[in-house]
Structure 1
Protein backbone atom coordinates (compact mmCIF):
# COMPACT_ATOMS: atom_id res chain seq x y z
CA UNK A 1 0.00 0.00 0.00
CA UNK A 2 1.18 3.57 -0.65
CA UNK A 3 3.04 5.01 2.30
CA UNK A 4 1.16 8.29 1.95
CA UNK A 5 -2.10 6.56 2.81
CA UNK A 6 -2.69 6.33 6.55
CA UNK A 7 -6.33 5.40 6.31
CA UNK A 8 -8.91 4.79 8.96
CA UNK A 9 -9.98 1.17 9.09
CA UNK A 10 -6.67 -0.23 7.85
CA UNK A 11 -6.67 -3.89 6.93
CA UNK A 12 -4.46 -6.62 8.32
CA UNK A 13 -1.45 -7.36 6.15
CA UNK A 14 -1.15 -11.15 5.63
CA UNK A 15 2.26 -12.76 6.12
CA UNK A 16 1.57 -16.44 5.55
CA UNK A 17 1.12 -17.90 2.07
CA UNK A 18 -2.35 -19.23 2.86
CA UNK A 19 -3.47 -15.85 4.14
CA UNK A 20 -2.06 -14.06 1.09
CA UNK A 21 -3.92 -16.47 -1.17
CA UNK A 22 -7.12 -15.79 0.77
CA UNK A 23 -6.65 -12.04 0.34
CA UNK A 24 -6.16 -12.51 -3.40
CA UNK A 25 -9.35 -14.56 -3.57
CA UNK A 26 -11.26 -11.92 -1.65
CA UNK A 27 -10.06 -9.16 -3.97
CA UNK A 28 -10.85 -11.24 -7.06
CA UNK A 29 -14.39 -11.85 -5.78
CA UNK A 30 -14.84 -8.18 -4.89
CA UNK A 31 -13.69 -7.19 -8.38
CA UNK A 32 -16.17 -9.60 -9.95
CA UNK A 33 -18.99 -8.17 -7.84
CA UNK A 34 -18.03 -4.57 -8.66
CA UNK A 35 -17.87 -5.41 -12.35
CA UNK A 36 -21.30 -7.00 -12.12
CA UNK A 37 -23.14 -4.42 -10.05
CA UNK A 38 -20.83 -1.53 -9.17
CA UNK A 39 -19.08 -0.76 -5.90
CA UNK A 40 -22.22 0.76 -4.39
CA UNK A 41 -24.00 -2.57 -4.78
CA UNK A 42 -21.15 -4.69 -3.45
CA UNK A 43 -21.89 -6.11 0.03
CA UNK A 44 -19.39 -7.65 2.41
CA UNK A 45 -21.67 -10.64 2.88
CA UNK A 46 -21.66 -11.27 -0.88
CA UNK A 47 -17.87 -11.07 -0.98
CA UNK A 48 -17.57 -13.56 1.87
CA UNK A 49 -20.05 -15.95 0.26
CA UNK A 50 -18.35 -15.84 -3.14
CA UNK A 51 -14.90 -16.26 -1.54
CA UNK A 52 -16.13 -19.25 0.49
CA UNK A 53 -15.23 -17.78 3.88
CA UNK A 54 -17.16 -16.60 6.92
CA UNK A 55 -18.00 -12.93 7.31
CA UNK A 56 -15.83 -12.92 10.45
CA UNK A 57 -12.83 -14.13 8.46
CA UNK A 58 -13.44 -11.45 5.85
CA UNK A 59 -13.45 -8.73 8.50
CA UNK A 60 -10.10 -10.00 9.78
CA UNK A 61 -8.54 -8.97 6.47
CA UNK A 62 -10.79 -6.08 5.44
CA UNK A 63 -12.63 -4.25 8.23
CA UNK A 64 -15.08 -2.60 5.83
CA UNK A 65 -16.01 -2.28 2.17
CA UNK A 66 -13.97 0.88 1.84
CA UNK A 67 -10.76 -0.96 2.72
CA UNK A 68 -11.37 -3.40 -0.13
CA UNK A 69 -12.02 -0.59 -2.60
CA UNK A 70 -8.94 1.33 -1.47
CA UNK A 71 -6.76 -1.76 -1.80
CA UNK A 72 -8.01 -2.31 -5.34
CA UNK A 73 -7.42 1.38 -6.12
CA UNK A 74 -3.85 1.18 -4.87
CA UNK A 75 -3.21 -1.92 -6.98
CA UNK A 76 -4.42 -0.15 -10.09
CA UNK A 77 -2.19 2.77 -9.17
CA UNK A 78 0.81 0.47 -8.75
CA UNK A 79 0.19 -0.94 -12.23
CA UNK A 80 -0.19 2.56 -13.65
CA UNK A 81 3.00 3.78 -11.98
CA UNK A 82 4.96 0.86 -13.39
CA UNK A 83 3.58 1.58 -16.85
CA UNK A 84 4.47 5.28 -16.66
CA UNK A 85 7.97 4.61 -15.35
CA UNK A 86 8.63 2.04 -18.06
CA UNK A 87 7.40 4.29 -20.87
CA UNK A 88 9.37 7.34 -19.74
CA UNK A 89 12.61 5.73 -18.61
CA UNK A 90 14.34 6.01 -21.98
CA UNK A 91 13.28 9.58 -22.78
CA UNK A 92 16.34 11.64 -23.63
CA UNK A 93 15.20 14.17 -26.22
CA UNK A 94 12.22 16.18 -27.43
CA UNK A 95 11.01 13.63 -29.93
CA UNK A 96 11.34 10.87 -27.38
CA UNK A 97 9.29 12.86 -24.86
CA UNK A 98 6.64 13.64 -27.45
CA UNK A 99 6.28 10.02 -28.55
CA UNK A 100 6.49 8.47 -25.09
CA UNK A 101 4.00 10.82 -23.45
CA UNK A 102 1.56 10.61 -26.34
CA UNK A 103 1.67 6.82 -26.31
CA UNK A 104 1.33 6.79 -22.53
CA UNK A 105 -1.91 8.77 -22.61
CA UNK A 106 -3.34 6.38 -25.19
CA UNK A 107 -2.34 3.38 -23.06
CA UNK A 108 -3.84 4.90 -19.92
CA UNK A 109 -7.11 5.73 -21.63
CA UNK A 110 -7.31 2.22 -23.06
CA UNK A 111 -6.73 0.86 -19.55
CA UNK A 112 -9.65 2.88 -18.20
CA UNK A 113 -11.89 1.68 -21.01
CA UNK A 114 -10.89 -1.96 -20.56
CA UNK A 115 -11.20 -2.11 -16.77
CA UNK A 116 -14.77 -1.63 -15.50
CA UNK A 117 -13.64 -2.02 -11.88
CA UNK A 118 -11.05 0.72 -12.32
CA UNK A 119 -13.67 2.98 -13.91
CA UNK A 120 -16.12 2.36 -11.10
CA UNK A 121 -13.60 3.04 -8.35
CA UNK A 122 -12.19 6.23 -9.79
CA UNK A 123 -15.58 7.64 -10.78
CA UNK A 124 -16.23 7.95 -7.04
CA UNK A 125 -12.90 9.52 -6.13
CA UNK A 126 -14.21 13.00 -5.41
CA UNK A 127 -16.78 11.66 -2.95
CA UNK A 128 -14.26 9.69 -0.89
CA UNK A 129 -11.58 11.57 1.05
CA UNK A 130 -9.35 8.50 1.36
CA UNK A 131 -9.51 7.84 -2.39
CA UNK A 132 -8.69 11.50 -3.04
CA UNK A 133 -5.58 11.13 -0.88
CA UNK A 134 -4.58 8.01 -2.81
CA UNK A 135 -5.20 9.85 -6.08
CA UNK A 136 -3.04 12.80 -5.05
CA UNK A 137 -0.21 10.56 -3.86
CA UNK A 138 -0.35 8.70 -7.17
CA UNK A 139 -0.17 11.95 -9.14
CA UNK A 140 2.85 13.10 -7.11
CA UNK A 141 4.71 9.85 -7.75
CA UNK A 142 3.92 9.90 -11.46
CA UNK A 143 4.63 13.62 -11.65
CA UNK A 144 8.12 13.05 -10.23
CA UNK A 145 8.77 10.42 -12.93
CA UNK A 146 7.59 12.81 -15.64
CA UNK A 147 9.66 15.65 -14.17
CA UNK A 148 12.77 13.46 -14.25
CA UNK A 149 12.16 12.63 -17.91
CA UNK A 150 11.68 16.30 -18.75
CA UNK A 151 14.88 17.18 -16.87
CA UNK A 152 16.81 14.74 -19.04
CA UNK A 153 15.47 16.54 -22.10
CA UNK A 154 16.18 20.00 -20.68
CA UNK A 155 18.91 19.76 -17.98
CA UNK A 156 18.90 23.56 -17.49
CA UNK A 157 15.22 23.68 -16.54
CA UNK A 158 14.25 24.70 -13.01
CA UNK A 159 13.53 21.49 -11.08
CA UNK A 160 10.89 23.01 -8.81
CA UNK A 161 8.97 24.27 -11.82
CA UNK A 162 9.27 20.92 -13.55
CA UNK A 163 8.10 19.07 -10.46
CA UNK A 164 5.13 21.37 -9.87
CA UNK A 165 3.96 21.42 -13.48
CA UNK A 166 4.44 17.67 -13.88
CA UNK A 167 2.36 17.01 -10.76
CA UNK A 168 -0.38 19.21 -12.23
CA UNK A 169 -0.13 17.48 -15.61
CA UNK A 170 -0.62 14.06 -14.02
CA UNK A 171 -3.48 15.21 -11.80
CA UNK A 172 -5.22 16.82 -14.78
CA UNK A 173 -4.65 13.60 -16.69
CA UNK A 174 -6.53 11.63 -14.04
CA UNK A 175 -9.36 14.17 -14.15
CA UNK A 176 -9.45 13.98 -17.94
CA UNK A 177 -9.75 10.20 -17.86
CA UNK A 178 -12.62 10.36 -15.37
CA UNK A 179 -14.39 12.92 -17.55
CA UNK A 180 -13.74 10.94 -20.73
CA UNK A 181 -15.30 7.74 -19.37
CA UNK A 182 -18.39 9.62 -18.15
CA UNK A 183 -19.41 10.86 -21.63
CA UNK A 184 -20.02 9.22 -24.99
CA UNK A 185 -17.05 7.29 -26.34
CA UNK A 186 -16.42 9.63 -29.29
CA UNK A 187 -16.49 12.71 -27.08
CA UNK A 188 -14.28 11.00 -24.52
CA UNK A 189 -11.68 10.15 -27.15
CA UNK A 190 -11.72 13.77 -28.36
CA UNK A 191 -11.21 15.06 -24.81
CA UNK A 192 -8.23 12.76 -24.25
CA UNK A 193 -6.70 13.79 -27.59
CA UNK A 194 -7.13 17.46 -26.74
CA UNK A 195 -5.53 16.96 -23.34
CA UNK A 196 -2.60 15.21 -24.99
CA UNK A 197 -2.02 18.03 -27.50
CA UNK A 198 -2.44 20.72 -24.83
CA UNK A 199 0.08 19.12 -22.47
CA UNK A 200 2.63 18.38 -25.18
CA UNK A 201 2.40 21.97 -26.36
CA UNK A 202 3.04 23.15 -22.80
CA UNK A 203 5.94 20.77 -22.16
CA UNK A 204 7.69 21.26 -25.50
CA UNK A 205 7.27 25.01 -25.87
CA UNK A 206 10.63 26.74 -25.97
CA UNK A 207 12.67 23.53 -26.21
CA UNK A 208 15.14 23.26 -29.04
CA UNK A 209 15.33 20.00 -31.04
Structure 2
Protein backbone atom coordinates (compact mmCIF):
# COMPACT_ATOMS: atom_id res chain seq x y z
CA UNK A 1 0.00 0.00 0.00
CA UNK A 2 2.87 2.38 0.77
CA UNK A 3 4.33 1.82 -2.68
CA UNK A 4 0.97 2.57 -4.30
CA UNK A 5 0.60 5.86 -2.42
CA UNK A 6 4.13 6.97 -3.25
CA UNK A 7 3.78 6.22 -6.94
CA UNK A 8 0.35 7.83 -7.02
CA UNK A 9 1.71 11.05 -5.55
CA UNK A 10 4.45 11.21 -8.18
CA UNK A 11 2.02 10.78 -11.04
CA UNK A 12 -0.40 13.44 -9.78
CA UNK A 13 1.80 15.98 -11.53
CA UNK A 14 1.67 14.12 -14.84
CA UNK A 15 -1.01 14.26 -17.58
CA UNK A 16 -3.54 11.45 -17.31
CA UNK A 17 -5.75 9.60 -19.75
CA UNK A 18 -2.98 8.21 -21.96
CA UNK A 19 -0.43 5.40 -21.64
CA UNK A 20 2.92 6.67 -20.42
CA UNK A 21 4.71 4.75 -23.16
CA UNK A 22 4.24 1.80 -25.49
CA UNK A 23 7.17 -0.60 -25.01
CA UNK A 24 9.22 -1.73 -27.98
CA UNK A 25 11.14 -4.61 -26.44
CA UNK A 26 9.53 -8.06 -26.30
CA UNK A 27 9.45 -8.35 -22.51
CA UNK A 28 7.93 -4.90 -22.05
CA UNK A 29 5.42 -5.53 -24.81
CA UNK A 30 4.34 -8.78 -23.20
CA UNK A 31 3.85 -7.05 -19.86
CA UNK A 32 1.91 -4.24 -21.58
CA UNK A 33 -0.40 -6.75 -23.27
CA UNK A 34 -0.84 -8.73 -20.06
CA UNK A 35 -2.05 -5.62 -18.26
CA UNK A 36 -4.61 -4.98 -20.98
CA UNK A 37 -5.71 -8.62 -21.00
CA UNK A 38 -6.23 -8.62 -17.23
CA UNK A 39 -8.11 -5.32 -17.45
CA UNK A 40 -10.42 -6.80 -20.09
CA UNK A 41 -11.18 -9.77 -17.85
CA UNK A 42 -11.95 -7.54 -14.89
CA UNK A 43 -14.13 -5.20 -16.93
CA UNK A 44 -16.06 -8.15 -18.37
CA UNK A 45 -16.63 -9.46 -14.86
CA UNK A 46 -17.36 -6.28 -12.92
CA UNK A 47 -17.65 -3.37 -15.38
CA UNK A 48 -15.26 -0.51 -16.06
CA UNK A 49 -16.55 1.58 -13.15
CA UNK A 50 -15.36 -1.11 -10.72
CA UNK A 51 -11.94 -1.52 -12.34
CA UNK A 52 -9.17 -0.95 -9.78
CA UNK A 53 -5.43 -0.65 -10.31
CA UNK A 54 -4.86 -2.76 -7.20
CA UNK A 55 -6.83 -5.65 -8.72
CA UNK A 56 -4.82 -5.44 -11.93
CA UNK A 57 -1.59 -5.55 -9.93
CA UNK A 58 -2.76 -8.62 -8.03
CA UNK A 59 -4.14 -10.56 -10.98
CA UNK A 60 -1.28 -9.67 -13.34
CA UNK A 61 1.26 -10.40 -10.60
CA UNK A 62 3.00 -7.05 -11.01
CA UNK A 63 4.16 -4.30 -8.68
CA UNK A 64 2.43 -0.91 -8.68
CA UNK A 65 5.63 0.58 -10.06
CA UNK A 66 5.59 -1.82 -13.00
CA UNK A 67 1.94 -1.04 -13.73
CA UNK A 68 2.39 2.73 -13.51
CA UNK A 69 5.44 2.46 -15.75
CA UNK A 70 3.00 1.91 -18.61
CA UNK A 71 -0.34 3.23 -17.38
CA UNK A 72 -0.55 6.20 -14.98
CA UNK A 73 -4.22 5.61 -14.16
CA UNK A 74 -7.36 3.64 -14.96
CA UNK A 75 -8.43 6.07 -17.68
CA UNK A 76 -5.25 5.40 -19.63
CA UNK A 77 -6.06 1.68 -19.69
CA UNK A 78 -9.64 2.22 -20.81
CA UNK A 79 -8.46 4.73 -23.40
CA UNK A 80 -6.02 2.20 -24.88
CA UNK A 81 -8.70 -0.48 -25.05
CA UNK A 82 -11.18 1.96 -26.61
CA UNK A 83 -8.69 3.03 -29.25
CA UNK A 84 -8.07 -0.59 -30.19
CA UNK A 85 -11.77 -1.27 -30.57
CA UNK A 86 -12.13 1.95 -32.57
CA UNK A 87 -9.55 0.69 -35.05
CA UNK A 88 -11.87 -2.21 -35.84
CA UNK A 89 -14.77 0.18 -36.32
CA UNK A 90 -12.76 2.41 -38.62
CA UNK A 91 -11.81 -0.56 -40.77
CA UNK A 92 -15.51 -1.41 -41.11
CA UNK A 93 -16.45 2.14 -42.12
CA UNK A 94 -13.61 2.44 -44.62
CA UNK A 95 -14.49 -0.88 -46.23
CA UNK A 96 -18.19 -0.04 -46.58
CA UNK A 97 -17.66 3.49 -47.89
CA UNK A 98 -15.16 2.18 -50.44
CA UNK A 99 -18.07 0.41 -52.19
CA UNK A 100 -20.09 3.62 -52.71
CA UNK A 101 -20.69 4.75 -56.29
CA UNK A 102 -24.02 6.58 -56.03
CA UNK A 103 -26.78 7.61 -53.62
CA UNK A 104 -28.27 4.11 -53.45
CA UNK A 105 -24.99 2.41 -52.59
CA UNK A 106 -24.22 5.14 -50.05
CA UNK A 107 -27.48 4.50 -48.26
CA UNK A 108 -26.80 0.75 -48.29
CA UNK A 109 -23.28 1.30 -46.94
CA UNK A 110 -24.63 3.28 -44.00
CA UNK A 111 -27.21 0.56 -43.31
CA UNK A 112 -24.43 -2.04 -43.35
CA UNK A 113 -22.32 0.06 -40.97
CA UNK A 114 -25.22 0.32 -38.54
CA UNK A 115 -25.76 -3.45 -38.67
CA UNK A 116 -22.08 -4.23 -38.16
CA UNK A 117 -21.66 -1.78 -35.29
CA UNK A 118 -24.76 -3.16 -33.58
CA UNK A 119 -23.55 -6.75 -33.94
CA UNK A 120 -20.08 -5.77 -32.76
CA UNK A 121 -21.33 -4.20 -29.54
CA UNK A 122 -23.73 -7.08 -28.91
CA UNK A 123 -20.93 -9.60 -29.26
CA UNK A 124 -18.42 -7.55 -27.27
CA UNK A 125 -19.98 -6.63 -23.89
CA UNK A 126 -16.64 -5.23 -22.72
CA UNK A 127 -16.58 -2.80 -25.62
CA UNK A 128 -20.17 -1.83 -24.90
CA UNK A 129 -19.17 -1.03 -21.33
CA UNK A 130 -16.11 0.92 -22.46
CA UNK A 131 -18.15 2.88 -25.00
CA UNK A 132 -20.47 3.97 -22.20
CA UNK A 133 -17.43 4.85 -20.07
CA UNK A 134 -16.06 7.16 -22.77
CA UNK A 135 -19.28 9.17 -22.56
CA UNK A 136 -19.01 9.68 -18.81
CA UNK A 137 -15.29 10.53 -18.50
CA UNK A 138 -14.22 13.96 -19.74
CA UNK A 139 -10.77 12.75 -20.73
CA UNK A 140 -12.18 9.73 -22.53
CA UNK A 141 -14.71 11.87 -24.40
CA UNK A 142 -11.78 13.02 -26.53
CA UNK A 143 -11.47 9.50 -27.92
CA UNK A 144 -15.10 9.44 -28.99
CA UNK A 145 -14.84 12.90 -30.54
CA UNK A 146 -11.72 11.94 -32.49
CA UNK A 147 -13.35 8.75 -33.71
CA UNK A 148 -16.52 10.52 -34.78
CA UNK A 149 -14.50 13.10 -36.71
CA UNK A 150 -12.64 10.31 -38.50
CA UNK A 151 -15.94 8.79 -39.62
CA UNK A 152 -17.32 12.20 -40.59
CA UNK A 153 -14.27 12.99 -42.71
CA UNK A 154 -14.50 9.58 -44.41
CA UNK A 155 -18.15 10.18 -45.28
CA UNK A 156 -17.39 13.75 -46.34
CA UNK A 157 -14.87 12.46 -48.89
CA UNK A 158 -17.57 10.27 -50.42
CA UNK A 159 -20.17 13.04 -50.45
CA UNK A 160 -17.72 15.42 -52.11
CA UNK A 161 -17.31 12.94 -54.98
CA UNK A 162 -21.03 12.36 -55.36
CA UNK A 163 -21.95 16.06 -55.18
CA UNK A 164 -18.88 18.02 -56.38
CA UNK A 165 -20.97 21.14 -57.02
CA UNK A 166 -22.06 21.42 -53.39
CA UNK A 167 -20.20 23.56 -50.88
CA UNK A 168 -17.65 21.70 -48.76
CA UNK A 169 -18.88 23.26 -45.55
CA UNK A 170 -22.41 22.08 -46.20
CA UNK A 171 -21.32 18.55 -47.07
CA UNK A 172 -19.10 18.33 -44.00
CA UNK A 173 -22.01 19.39 -41.80
CA UNK A 174 -24.17 16.68 -43.38
CA UNK A 175 -21.42 14.10 -42.90
CA UNK A 176 -20.93 14.98 -39.24
CA UNK A 177 -24.61 14.90 -38.39
CA UNK A 178 -25.19 11.69 -40.35
CA UNK A 179 -22.48 9.85 -38.42
CA UNK A 180 -23.65 11.29 -35.10
CA UNK A 181 -27.18 10.07 -35.78
CA UNK A 182 -25.90 6.64 -36.77
CA UNK A 183 -23.90 6.37 -33.53
CA UNK A 184 -26.89 7.56 -31.50
CA UNK A 185 -29.12 4.95 -33.12
CA UNK A 186 -26.66 2.17 -32.31
CA UNK A 187 -26.15 3.44 -28.76
CA UNK A 188 -29.90 3.43 -28.21
CA UNK A 189 -30.35 0.01 -29.81
CA UNK A 190 -27.76 -1.73 -27.64
CA UNK A 191 -29.48 -0.38 -24.52
CA UNK A 192 -32.47 -2.59 -25.42
CA UNK A 193 -32.82 -6.35 -25.53
CA UNK A 194 -31.70 -7.93 -28.80
CA UNK A 195 -35.14 -8.20 -30.41
CA UNK A 196 -36.05 -4.58 -29.71
CA UNK A 197 -32.50 -3.49 -30.51
CA UNK A 198 -32.58 -4.99 -33.97
CA UNK A 199 -36.01 -3.50 -34.54
CA UNK A 200 -34.63 -0.08 -33.60
CA UNK A 201 -31.76 -0.44 -36.07
CA UNK A 202 -34.19 -1.52 -38.79
CA UNK A 203 -36.36 1.52 -38.07
CA UNK A 204 -33.34 3.82 -38.25
CA UNK A 205 -32.40 2.29 -41.61
CA UNK A 206 -35.88 2.86 -43.00
CA UNK A 207 -35.67 6.48 -41.91
CA UNK A 208 -32.44 7.09 -43.85
CA UNK A 209 -33.17 9.28 -46.88
CA UNK A 210 -32.48 7.83 -50.31
CA UNK A 211 -30.23 10.72 -51.31
CA UNK A 212 -28.29 11.72 -48.19
CA UNK A 213 -26.04 14.09 -50.06
CA UNK A 214 -29.12 16.11 -51.10
CA UNK A 215 -29.93 17.06 -47.52
CA UNK A 216 -29.52 20.76 -46.81
| Smaller-chain TM-score bracket | 0.7 to 0.9
User: Pick from 66, 70, 86: which aligns with 2:75?
Assistant: 66
After TM superposition, give the deviation of residue 202 of structure 1 in Å.
Answer: 6.1
For these two proteins, the number of residue pairs brought into alignment is 200
C-alpha distance after superposition, 1:81-123 (max 9, x if no partner): 1211121123121232122221111111100111111110112
C-alpha distance after superposition, 1:44-65 (max 9, x if no partner): 1221222232222011111111
- Gapped runs of 5+ residues in structure 2? 1-14
TM-score by length of 1: 0.86
Deviates more, 1:87-96 or 1:71-80: 87-96
Contact 1:169/1:199 (CA < 8 Å) preserved in 2?
no
* Distance of 1:162 and 1:21 partners within structure 2: 44
Q: 2:198 corresponds to which residue?
A: 189
After TM superposition, give the deviation of residue 68 of structure 1 in Å.
Answer: 0.5
Q: 2:95 corresponds to which residue?
A: 86
User: Pick from 99, 105, 112: which aligns with 2:114?
Assistant: 105
* Distance of 1:74 and 1:188 partners within structure 2: 25
**Corresponding position: 1:11 with 2:19:** yes
Q: 1:135 corresponds to which residue?
A: 144
Gap change, CA 1:151 and 1:9, over 3 Å in 2:
closer
Secondary structure of residue in 2 paired with 1:66: helix
Larger Rg: 2
Secondary structure of residue in 1 paired with 2:48: coil
After TM superposition, give the deviation of residue 126 of structure 1 in Å.
Answer: 2.9
Deviates more, 1:110-119 or 1:175-184: 175-184
**Corresponding position: 1:173 with 2:182:** yes
User: Pick from 98, 120, 132: which aligns with 1:123?
Assistant: 132
Gap change, CA 1:91 and 1:9, over 3 Å in 2:
closer
After TM superposition, give the deviation of residue 204 of structure 1 in Å.
Answer: 5.7
**CA RMSD, 1 decimal:** 1.9
Q: Which runs of 4+ in 1 moved over 3 A?
A: 199-202
- Gapped runs of 5+ residues in structure 1? 1-6
After TM superposition, give the deviation of residue 129 of structure 1 in Å.
Answer: 0.9
Contact 1:136/1:171 (CA < 8 Å) preserved in 2?
no
